[in-house]
Structure 1
Protein backbone atom coordinates (compact mmCIF):
# COMPACT_ATOMS: atom_id res chain seq x y z
CA UNK A 1 0.00 0.00 0.00
CA UNK A 2 1.28 3.48 -0.82
CA UNK A 3 2.17 5.81 2.02
CA UNK A 4 -0.38 8.60 2.58
CA UNK A 5 0.39 12.03 1.17
CA UNK A 6 1.73 14.31 3.89
CA UNK A 7 -0.04 17.66 4.46
CA UNK A 8 1.27 20.60 6.49
CA UNK A 9 -1.28 23.20 7.65
CA UNK A 10 0.01 26.78 7.96
CA UNK A 11 -2.49 29.01 9.81
CA UNK A 12 -2.13 31.29 12.81
CA UNK A 13 -5.65 30.54 14.11
CA UNK A 14 -5.22 27.34 16.12
CA UNK A 15 -8.92 26.54 15.92
CA UNK A 16 -8.95 26.79 12.12
CA UNK A 17 -5.68 24.84 11.88
CA UNK A 18 -7.11 22.10 14.09
CA UNK A 19 -10.28 21.90 12.00
CA UNK A 20 -8.29 21.64 8.78
CA UNK A 21 -6.03 19.01 10.35
CA UNK A 22 -9.06 16.89 11.26
CA UNK A 23 -10.47 17.27 7.73
CA UNK A 24 -7.16 16.16 6.22
CA UNK A 25 -6.86 13.14 8.50
CA UNK A 26 -10.38 12.03 7.56
CA UNK A 27 -9.57 11.91 3.84
CA UNK A 28 -8.33 8.61 2.33
CA UNK A 29 -4.71 8.70 1.27
CA UNK A 30 -3.86 11.90 3.18
CA UNK A 31 -2.27 12.53 6.58
CA UNK A 32 -1.69 15.80 8.43
CA UNK A 33 1.91 15.97 9.63
CA UNK A 34 1.53 19.13 11.68
CA UNK A 35 0.28 22.68 12.00
CA UNK A 36 2.34 25.86 11.88
CA UNK A 37 1.13 29.25 13.16
CA UNK A 38 3.94 31.25 11.52
CA UNK A 39 6.15 31.12 8.46
CA UNK A 40 9.15 30.37 10.67
CA UNK A 41 7.32 27.35 12.08
CA UNK A 42 6.25 26.37 8.58
CA UNK A 43 9.87 26.32 7.40
CA UNK A 44 10.76 24.05 10.31
CA UNK A 45 7.79 21.84 9.45
CA UNK A 46 8.90 21.57 5.82
CA UNK A 47 12.41 20.55 6.87
CA UNK A 48 11.15 18.04 9.44
CA UNK A 49 8.25 16.42 7.59
CA UNK A 50 8.95 16.95 3.84
CA UNK A 51 5.22 17.48 3.11
CA UNK A 52 3.64 16.73 -0.24
CA UNK A 53 1.02 19.46 0.14
CA UNK A 54 0.78 22.77 1.99
CA UNK A 55 -2.44 24.45 3.13
CA UNK A 56 -1.33 28.04 3.60
CA UNK A 57 -3.20 31.04 4.98
CA UNK A 58 -2.49 34.20 2.97
CA UNK A 59 -1.93 36.41 6.02
CA UNK A 60 0.48 35.25 8.71
CA UNK A 61 2.03 37.14 11.64
CA UNK A 62 5.53 37.10 10.19
CA UNK A 63 4.91 37.34 6.47
CA UNK A 64 2.99 36.69 3.29
CA UNK A 65 1.63 33.20 2.62
CA UNK A 66 1.75 33.73 -1.14
CA UNK A 67 5.46 34.53 -1.04
CA UNK A 68 6.01 31.47 1.12
CA UNK A 69 4.32 29.27 -1.50
CA UNK A 70 6.50 30.82 -4.20
CA UNK A 71 9.64 30.02 -2.19
CA UNK A 72 8.83 26.31 -1.83
CA UNK A 73 8.93 23.58 -4.46
CA UNK A 74 5.86 21.97 -2.88
CA UNK A 75 2.26 21.64 -4.02
CA UNK A 76 0.09 24.16 -2.18
CA UNK A 77 -3.46 25.40 -1.71
CA UNK A 78 -3.84 29.01 -0.61
CA UNK A 79 -6.55 29.89 1.90
CA UNK A 80 -7.37 33.58 1.91
CA UNK A 81 -9.84 36.10 3.27
CA UNK A 82 -8.99 38.31 0.28
CA UNK A 83 -11.32 37.84 -2.68
CA UNK A 84 -9.84 40.34 -5.13
CA UNK A 85 -8.66 39.06 -8.49
CA UNK A 86 -5.12 40.35 -8.04
CA UNK A 87 -4.57 38.16 -4.95
CA UNK A 88 -5.93 35.13 -6.75
CA UNK A 89 -3.73 35.73 -9.81
CA UNK A 90 -0.70 36.38 -7.61
CA UNK A 91 -1.30 33.09 -5.80
CA UNK A 92 -1.57 31.19 -9.07
CA UNK A 93 1.60 32.82 -10.39
CA UNK A 94 3.31 31.78 -7.15
CA UNK A 95 2.43 28.17 -7.88
CA UNK A 96 -0.71 27.56 -5.81
CA UNK A 97 -2.74 24.70 -7.26
CA UNK A 98 -5.96 26.17 -5.91
CA UNK A 99 -7.31 29.12 -3.93
CA UNK A 100 -10.04 28.86 -1.28
CA UNK A 101 -11.63 32.06 -0.05
CA UNK A 102 -12.89 32.30 3.52
CA UNK A 103 -15.39 31.43 4.78
CA UNK A 104 -16.04 28.04 3.22
CA UNK A 105 -17.76 24.86 4.32
CA UNK A 106 -15.76 21.79 5.30
CA UNK A 107 -17.08 19.90 2.27
CA UNK A 108 -15.37 22.40 -0.05
CA UNK A 109 -11.94 21.65 1.44
CA UNK A 110 -12.76 17.95 1.47
CA UNK A 111 -13.51 18.10 -2.25
CA UNK A 112 -10.25 19.93 -3.03
CA UNK A 113 -8.25 17.42 -0.99
CA UNK A 114 -9.91 14.46 -2.68
CA UNK A 115 -9.25 16.03 -6.08
CA UNK A 116 -5.60 16.55 -5.14
CA UNK A 117 -5.23 12.92 -4.06
CA UNK A 118 -6.65 11.74 -7.40
CA UNK A 119 -4.44 14.25 -9.25
CA UNK A 120 -1.36 12.80 -7.56
CA UNK A 121 -2.54 9.26 -8.24
CA UNK A 122 -2.71 9.99 -11.96
CA UNK A 123 0.75 11.60 -11.99
CA UNK A 124 2.91 9.19 -9.95
CA UNK A 125 6.52 10.16 -9.43
CA UNK A 126 7.89 6.68 -10.10
CA UNK A 127 6.19 5.95 -13.44
CA UNK A 128 6.05 7.62 -16.83
CA UNK A 129 2.81 9.24 -17.98
CA UNK A 130 1.15 10.28 -21.21
CA UNK A 131 -0.85 13.25 -22.47
CA UNK A 132 -4.20 11.61 -21.73
CA UNK A 133 -3.25 11.06 -18.10
CA UNK A 134 -1.94 14.62 -17.79
CA UNK A 135 -5.14 16.10 -19.24
CA UNK A 136 -7.27 13.88 -17.01
CA UNK A 137 -5.27 14.82 -13.90
CA UNK A 138 -5.56 18.55 -14.62
CA UNK A 139 -9.29 18.23 -15.30
CA UNK A 140 -9.78 16.50 -11.95
CA UNK A 141 -7.64 19.03 -10.11
CA UNK A 142 -9.33 22.09 -11.56
CA UNK A 143 -12.77 20.54 -11.53
CA UNK A 144 -12.62 20.07 -7.77
CA UNK A 145 -13.93 17.02 -5.96
CA UNK A 146 -17.48 17.02 -7.29
CA UNK A 147 -16.53 14.86 -10.27
CA UNK A 148 -16.04 11.91 -7.94
CA UNK A 149 -19.75 11.62 -7.24
CA UNK A 150 -21.30 12.89 -10.45
CA UNK A 151 -22.89 10.10 -12.45
CA UNK A 152 -22.11 7.38 -9.89
CA UNK A 153 -24.63 4.82 -11.08
CA UNK A 154 -25.79 1.66 -9.33
CA UNK A 155 -23.67 -0.33 -11.80
CA UNK A 156 -20.54 1.67 -10.99
CA UNK A 157 -21.16 1.19 -7.27
CA UNK A 158 -21.56 -2.55 -7.89
CA UNK A 159 -18.34 -2.69 -9.89
CA UNK A 160 -16.39 -0.78 -7.26
CA UNK A 161 -17.66 -3.12 -4.54
CA UNK A 162 -16.50 -6.18 -6.49
CA UNK A 163 -13.14 -4.61 -7.31
CA UNK A 164 -12.44 -4.21 -3.60
CA UNK A 165 -8.73 -3.93 -2.84
CA UNK A 166 -7.61 -6.33 -5.54
CA UNK A 167 -6.11 -5.71 -8.97
CA UNK A 168 -8.34 -7.23 -11.64
CA UNK A 169 -9.15 -7.19 -15.34
CA UNK A 170 -12.45 -6.08 -16.83
CA UNK A 171 -13.34 -9.73 -17.52
CA UNK A 172 -12.67 -10.73 -13.91
CA UNK A 173 -14.75 -7.86 -12.54
CA UNK A 174 -17.55 -8.60 -14.98
CA UNK A 175 -17.72 -12.19 -13.74
CA UNK A 176 -17.74 -11.13 -10.10
CA UNK A 177 -20.42 -8.47 -10.64
CA UNK A 178 -22.57 -10.54 -12.98
CA UNK A 179 -22.47 -8.07 -15.86
CA UNK A 180 -21.13 -8.28 -19.39
CA UNK A 181 -17.46 -7.59 -20.08
CA UNK A 182 -18.41 -4.62 -22.28
CA UNK A 183 -20.53 -3.11 -19.50
CA UNK A 184 -17.75 -3.59 -16.94
CA UNK A 185 -15.16 -2.09 -19.29
CA UNK A 186 -17.33 0.95 -20.03
CA UNK A 187 -17.93 1.72 -16.36
CA UNK A 188 -14.32 1.02 -15.41
CA UNK A 189 -13.18 3.53 -18.04
CA UNK A 190 -15.56 6.13 -16.61
CA UNK A 191 -14.31 5.49 -13.06
CA UNK A 192 -10.70 5.77 -14.24
CA UNK A 193 -11.44 9.07 -15.99
CA UNK A 194 -12.68 10.48 -12.69
CA UNK A 195 -9.60 9.17 -10.87
CA UNK A 196 -11.50 6.72 -8.67
CA UNK A 197 -9.46 3.77 -9.90
CA UNK A 198 -6.04 3.28 -11.50
CA UNK A 199 -5.34 1.56 -14.79
CA UNK A 200 -2.20 -0.54 -14.99
CA UNK A 201 -0.79 -2.50 -17.89
CA UNK A 202 0.36 -6.09 -17.60
CA UNK A 203 2.63 -7.21 -20.43
CA UNK A 204 2.61 -10.86 -21.44
CA UNK A 205 4.97 -12.73 -23.69
CA UNK A 206 2.87 -12.01 -26.79
CA UNK A 207 -0.04 -9.85 -27.86
CA UNK A 208 -1.40 -6.57 -26.52
CA UNK A 209 -0.90 -5.62 -22.85
CA UNK A 210 -3.79 -6.37 -20.52
CA UNK A 211 -5.50 -3.51 -18.71
CA UNK A 212 -5.69 -4.10 -14.95
CA UNK A 213 -7.77 -1.99 -12.57
CA UNK A 214 -7.11 -1.19 -8.92
CA UNK A 215 -8.23 1.34 -6.31
CA UNK A 216 -5.74 4.15 -5.53
CA UNK A 217 -3.43 3.48 -2.61
CA UNK A 218 -3.73 -0.32 -2.74
Structure 2
Protein backbone atom coordinates (compact mmCIF):
# COMPACT_ATOMS: atom_id res chain seq x y z
CA UNK A 1 0.00 0.00 0.00
CA UNK A 2 1.36 3.43 -0.93
CA UNK A 3 1.81 6.13 1.66
CA UNK A 4 -1.13 8.53 2.12
CA UNK A 5 -0.97 11.98 0.57
CA UNK A 6 0.10 14.26 3.43
CA UNK A 7 -2.07 17.36 3.20
CA UNK A 8 -1.96 20.72 4.97
CA UNK A 9 -5.07 22.93 5.10
CA UNK A 10 -4.67 26.73 5.31
CA UNK A 11 -7.73 28.96 5.73
CA UNK A 12 -8.51 31.74 8.19
CA UNK A 13 -12.04 30.42 8.84
CA UNK A 14 -12.12 27.48 11.23
CA UNK A 15 -15.42 26.22 9.81
CA UNK A 16 -13.88 25.97 6.35
CA UNK A 17 -10.86 24.14 7.76
CA UNK A 18 -13.16 21.74 9.58
CA UNK A 19 -15.20 21.10 6.43
CA UNK A 20 -12.09 20.46 4.36
CA UNK A 21 -10.62 18.14 6.99
CA UNK A 22 -13.86 16.14 7.11
CA UNK A 23 -13.97 15.81 3.30
CA UNK A 24 -10.32 14.85 2.91
CA UNK A 25 -10.10 12.46 5.86
CA UNK A 26 -13.10 10.58 4.47
CA UNK A 27 -11.18 9.93 1.26
CA UNK A 28 -8.88 6.89 1.14
CA UNK A 29 -5.20 7.64 0.69
CA UNK A 30 -5.28 11.19 2.08
CA UNK A 31 -4.05 12.24 5.53
CA UNK A 32 -4.49 15.76 6.93
CA UNK A 33 -1.27 16.53 8.82
CA UNK A 34 -2.02 20.08 9.95
CA UNK A 35 -4.10 23.25 9.78
CA UNK A 36 -3.03 26.88 9.48
CA UNK A 37 -5.12 30.00 10.11
CA UNK A 38 -2.99 32.44 8.08
CA UNK A 39 -0.41 32.51 5.35
CA UNK A 40 2.64 32.93 7.59
CA UNK A 41 1.60 29.95 9.71
CA UNK A 42 0.97 27.93 6.56
CA UNK A 43 4.53 28.52 5.33
CA UNK A 44 5.93 27.68 8.78
CA UNK A 45 3.94 24.43 8.98
CA UNK A 46 4.84 23.50 5.41
CA UNK A 47 8.51 23.86 6.37
CA UNK A 48 8.10 21.82 9.59
CA UNK A 49 5.65 19.12 8.46
CA UNK A 50 6.75 18.58 4.86
CA UNK A 51 3.25 17.99 3.39
CA UNK A 52 2.85 16.67 -0.12
CA UNK A 53 -0.05 19.01 -0.89
CA UNK A 54 -1.27 22.28 0.62
CA UNK A 55 -4.86 23.50 0.21
CA UNK A 56 -4.37 27.24 0.46
CA UNK A 57 -6.94 30.02 0.77
CA UNK A 58 -6.10 33.26 -1.06
CA UNK A 59 -7.42 35.87 1.37
CA UNK A 60 -5.79 35.38 4.76
CA UNK A 61 -4.12 37.68 7.33
CA UNK A 62 -0.34 38.11 7.89
CA UNK A 63 0.45 36.67 4.45
CA UNK A 64 -2.14 35.98 1.77
CA UNK A 65 -2.30 32.74 -0.16
CA UNK A 66 -0.48 34.12 -3.19
CA UNK A 67 2.46 35.25 -1.06
CA UNK A 68 2.44 31.97 0.85
CA UNK A 69 2.43 29.97 -2.39
CA UNK A 70 5.48 31.86 -3.63
CA UNK A 71 7.32 31.25 -0.35
CA UNK A 72 6.44 27.56 -0.36
CA UNK A 73 7.80 27.22 -3.89
CA UNK A 74 11.21 28.22 -2.49
CA UNK A 75 11.26 25.50 0.17
CA UNK A 76 13.80 22.70 -0.25
CA UNK A 77 11.01 20.12 -0.40
CA UNK A 78 8.29 22.30 -1.90
CA UNK A 79 4.73 20.99 -1.56
CA UNK A 80 2.18 21.04 -4.37
CA UNK A 81 -0.18 23.96 -3.79
CA UNK A 82 -3.88 23.99 -4.63
CA UNK A 83 -5.38 27.45 -4.22
CA UNK A 84 -8.90 27.51 -2.80
CA UNK A 85 -11.01 30.65 -2.88
CA UNK A 86 -14.47 32.14 -3.25
CA UNK A 87 -13.12 34.59 -5.81
CA UNK A 88 -12.89 33.34 -9.39
CA UNK A 89 -11.08 36.48 -10.55
CA UNK A 90 -8.68 36.03 -13.44
CA UNK A 91 -5.78 37.89 -11.87
CA UNK A 92 -5.85 35.56 -8.87
CA UNK A 93 -5.73 32.50 -11.08
CA UNK A 94 -2.87 33.80 -13.18
CA UNK A 95 -0.80 35.01 -10.22
CA UNK A 96 -1.41 31.81 -8.26
CA UNK A 97 -0.20 29.68 -11.16
CA UNK A 98 2.77 32.00 -11.66
CA UNK A 99 3.64 31.57 -7.98
CA UNK A 100 3.84 27.81 -8.32
CA UNK A 101 0.29 26.65 -7.60
CA UNK A 102 -0.73 23.52 -9.49
CA UNK A 103 -4.47 23.76 -8.92
CA UNK A 104 -7.19 26.34 -8.45
CA UNK A 105 -10.62 25.50 -7.03
CA UNK A 106 -13.55 27.59 -5.91
CA UNK A 107 -14.88 26.90 -2.42
CA UNK A 108 -18.23 25.83 -3.86
CA UNK A 109 -16.52 22.93 -5.65
CA UNK A 110 -17.90 19.48 -4.88
CA UNK A 111 -16.23 17.22 -2.33
CA UNK A 112 -15.32 14.91 -5.22
CA UNK A 113 -13.53 17.74 -7.04
CA UNK A 114 -11.64 18.76 -3.89
CA UNK A 115 -10.40 15.21 -3.37
CA UNK A 116 -9.53 14.94 -7.07
CA UNK A 117 -7.57 18.21 -6.87
CA UNK A 118 -5.45 16.91 -3.98
CA UNK A 119 -4.75 13.65 -5.80
CA UNK A 120 -3.96 15.40 -9.08
CA UNK A 121 -1.62 17.80 -7.30
CA UNK A 122 0.18 14.94 -5.56
CA UNK A 123 0.76 13.37 -8.98
CA UNK A 124 2.15 16.61 -10.34
CA UNK A 125 -0.87 17.51 -12.45
CA UNK A 126 -2.54 20.91 -12.48
CA UNK A 127 -6.28 21.01 -11.94
CA UNK A 128 -8.63 23.93 -12.39
CA UNK A 129 -12.34 23.92 -11.78
CA UNK A 130 -14.20 23.95 -15.14
CA UNK A 131 -15.63 27.42 -14.48
CA UNK A 132 -12.20 28.85 -13.72
CA UNK A 133 -10.64 26.98 -16.64
CA UNK A 134 -12.95 28.63 -19.16
CA UNK A 135 -12.32 32.13 -17.84
CA UNK A 136 -8.58 31.57 -17.67
CA UNK A 137 -8.47 30.37 -21.27
CA UNK A 138 -10.59 33.24 -22.51
CA UNK A 139 -8.30 35.72 -20.78
CA UNK A 140 -4.87 34.27 -21.47
CA UNK A 141 -5.25 32.11 -24.58
CA UNK A 142 -7.15 34.23 -27.06
CA UNK A 143 -6.78 32.29 -30.34
CA UNK A 144 -5.56 34.33 -33.30
CA UNK A 145 -5.74 32.83 -36.76
CA UNK A 146 -2.01 32.15 -37.01
CA UNK A 147 -1.98 30.84 -33.44
CA UNK A 148 -4.82 28.47 -34.24
CA UNK A 149 -3.02 27.11 -37.29
CA UNK A 150 0.11 26.41 -35.24
CA UNK A 151 -1.91 24.80 -32.45
CA UNK A 152 -3.74 22.55 -34.91
CA UNK A 153 -0.44 21.52 -36.46
CA UNK A 154 0.89 20.58 -33.00
CA UNK A 155 -2.07 18.34 -32.15
CA UNK A 156 -2.14 16.69 -35.59
CA UNK A 157 0.02 13.82 -34.29
CA UNK A 158 -2.60 12.85 -31.70
CA UNK A 159 -4.95 9.94 -32.25
CA UNK A 160 -8.68 10.56 -32.38
CA UNK A 161 -9.07 9.27 -28.81
CA UNK A 162 -6.22 11.47 -27.59
CA UNK A 163 -7.91 14.50 -29.17
CA UNK A 164 -11.10 13.62 -27.29
CA UNK A 165 -9.13 13.39 -24.04
CA UNK A 166 -7.34 16.68 -24.76
CA UNK A 167 -10.71 18.34 -25.34
CA UNK A 168 -11.92 17.02 -21.99
CA UNK A 169 -8.80 18.34 -20.27
CA UNK A 170 -9.47 21.71 -21.89
CA UNK A 171 -12.91 21.72 -20.32
CA UNK A 172 -11.40 21.23 -16.87
CA UNK A 173 -12.42 17.60 -16.38
CA UNK A 174 -10.54 15.45 -13.88
CA UNK A 175 -9.27 12.00 -14.84
CA UNK A 176 -12.31 10.47 -13.14
CA UNK A 177 -14.66 12.73 -15.13
CA UNK A 178 -12.81 11.98 -18.37
CA UNK A 179 -13.15 8.26 -17.66
CA UNK A 180 -16.88 8.59 -17.06
CA UNK A 181 -17.47 10.81 -20.10
CA UNK A 182 -15.40 8.77 -22.56
CA UNK A 183 -16.30 5.32 -21.17
CA UNK A 184 -12.86 4.21 -20.06
CA UNK A 185 -11.20 3.37 -16.76
CA UNK A 186 -9.63 6.13 -14.70
CA UNK A 187 -6.24 4.46 -15.13
CA UNK A 188 -6.67 4.57 -18.91
CA UNK A 189 -7.67 8.25 -18.76
CA UNK A 190 -4.57 9.01 -16.71
CA UNK A 191 -2.40 7.14 -19.22
CA UNK A 192 -3.92 9.09 -22.11
CA UNK A 193 -3.29 12.43 -20.37
CA UNK A 194 0.33 11.51 -19.61
CA UNK A 195 0.90 10.37 -23.20
CA UNK A 196 -0.62 13.59 -24.57
CA UNK A 197 1.63 15.75 -22.38
CA UNK A 198 4.68 13.77 -23.49
CA UNK A 199 3.76 13.85 -27.20
CA UNK A 200 3.13 17.58 -27.17
CA UNK A 201 6.02 18.50 -24.88
CA UNK A 202 3.72 20.01 -22.27
CA UNK A 203 4.34 20.31 -18.54
CA UNK A 204 0.83 20.08 -17.10
CA UNK A 205 -2.91 20.13 -17.72
CA UNK A 206 -3.09 23.92 -17.78
CA UNK A 207 -0.75 24.07 -20.77
CA UNK A 208 -2.77 21.28 -22.40
CA UNK A 209 -6.01 23.18 -21.82
CA UNK A 210 -4.55 26.33 -23.38
CA UNK A 211 -3.39 24.39 -26.44
CA UNK A 212 -6.82 22.75 -26.79
CA UNK A 213 -8.44 26.18 -26.65
CA UNK A 214 -6.06 27.67 -29.21
CA UNK A 215 -6.62 24.73 -31.54
CA UNK A 216 -10.36 25.33 -31.47
CA UNK A 217 -11.24 22.04 -29.77
CA UNK A 218 -13.50 23.82 -27.27
CA UNK A 219 -15.54 25.79 -29.82
Identify whether the pair has TM-score above 0.5, normalized to the shorter chain. Answer: yes
Deviations 1:23-72 (Å, cap 9, x if unpaired)?
A: 11122221110111012321332133200000000011112101111111
Unmatched segments (≥5 aa) in structure 2: 73-77, 126-161, 192-219
Whether the 8 Å contact between 1:27 and 1:113 is mirrored in structure 2 is no
Change (3 A) 1:8 1:148: farther
Report the Cα offset of residue 120 of structure 1.
Answer: 5.2
TM norm structure 1: 0.57
1:62 correspondence with 2:62: yes
1:77 correspondence with 2:72: no
Whether the 8 Å contact between 2:5 and 2:119 is mirrored in structure 1 is no
Change (3 A) 1:195 1:41: same
Whether the 8 Å contact between 1:81 and 1:102 is mirrored in structure 2 is yes
Deviations 1:176-210 (Å, cap 9, x if unpaired)?
A: xxxxxxxxxxxxxx5533249xxxxxxxxxxxxxx
Partner of 1:168: none
Distance 1:116 1:57 in 2: 16
TM norm structure 2: 0.56
Distance 1:107 1:191 in 2: 14
Partner of 2:188: 193
Higher radius of gyration, 1 or 2? 1
1:6 correspondence with 2:6: yes
Report the Cα offset of residue 116 of structure 1.
Answer: 3.6
Change (3 A) 1:31 1:120: farther
Partner of 2:91: 86
Secondary structure in 1 matching 2:101? coil
Report the Cα offset of residue 148 of structure 1.
Answer: 4.5
Secondary structure in 2 matching 1:2? coil
Structure with more of its chain in helix, by fraction: 2
Deviations 1:128-170 (Å, cap 9, x if unpaired)?
A: xxxxxxx99xx69x642423444557xxxxxxxxxxxxxxxxx
Structure with more of its chain in strand, by fraction: 1
1:147 correspondence with 2:142: no
Unmatched segments (≥5 aa) in structure 1: 122-134, 154-189, 197-218
